[in-house]
Amino acid sequence: MILAVDVGNTHIEIGLYVDGKFQTSWRIATKIHRTEDEFISHLHSFLTLKKLSLDKISTLAVASVVPNVTEMLDKLSRKYFGKEPFIVDITKKLGIKIDYEPASSVGADRICNAVATFEKYGGPAIIVDLGTATTFDVIDERGVYLGGAIAPGLETTAWGLSEKASKLPQIVLKFPKHAIGKNTEESMQSGLMLGAVRMIDGLIELISKELSGKPQIVATGGLANTIAPHSRHINQVEPYLVLDGLIALFFRNQ
């Protein structure tokens, strides 16, 4: 079994793959000061729930945007699995070309998204990742990563509103029945949810005009299933896109 770990700023998604095929996953909060011993105890608990054991894991593959956690996972792999982990960066064989300045600034999650999307759908394609930030990653028909756009994520925006405006509460991120809110919660849901969809569709349209050919639009991230049905352009939802790209890169580099 390969343990694939997608380390984001807010959550860590952990997936189990057998012979390159996804089996199961779970999510924990990202804590930058968690030690390798604490993390292995989490792994042990989740694997026990699935009636699996740590000794079934052959290697660790990591896509991380949090350096402290990357370092911790490197220590964990060497200490408990006796080997160096596979960690995604631009020095690896990617199967795509990076056209971005500097190339090293492209996050591992964005690389994995682009790799998985190009393998599954070809290009051109636009990947919308709805996480802490809402990112748009663009790959052309030749498999060249062109860059994209970065906007605040929905949860980040909602937190910022309630944090900076004392009379605005934390709300449930769901779509309201009407654009005209009849109370504070509905008004915030209208602005946040309906506004986010218009922003996403608007950026997709602008990016598409700069591409040759009609792009495939793929959504991923925690809110992808919530947003996608309301978008005019999203036509695929891939909840484990980063993990799938990570595993594809792992095998490409063996």
Q: Which amino acid is at 30?
A: T
Catalytic residue, chosen from 6, 109, 129, 244, is 109
Q: Which amino acid is at 20?
A: G
Q: Do residues 145 and 138 lie in contact, with contact meaning Cβ atoms separated by under 8 Å?
A: yes
Q: Do residues 86 and 250 lie in contact, with contact meaning Cβ atoms separated by under 8 Å?
A: yes
Give strand ranges (E) for 66-213.
86-87, 97-98, 125-130, 133-139, 144-152
Compute the distance between CA of residue 74 and CA of residue 87 in angstroms, rounded to an integer. Answer: 9
Name residues whose C-beta falls within 8 Å of residue 162's C-beta, 6 or more positions apart in sequence: 168, 169, 170, 171
6 catalytic residue (yes or no): no
The residues that are catalytic are 109
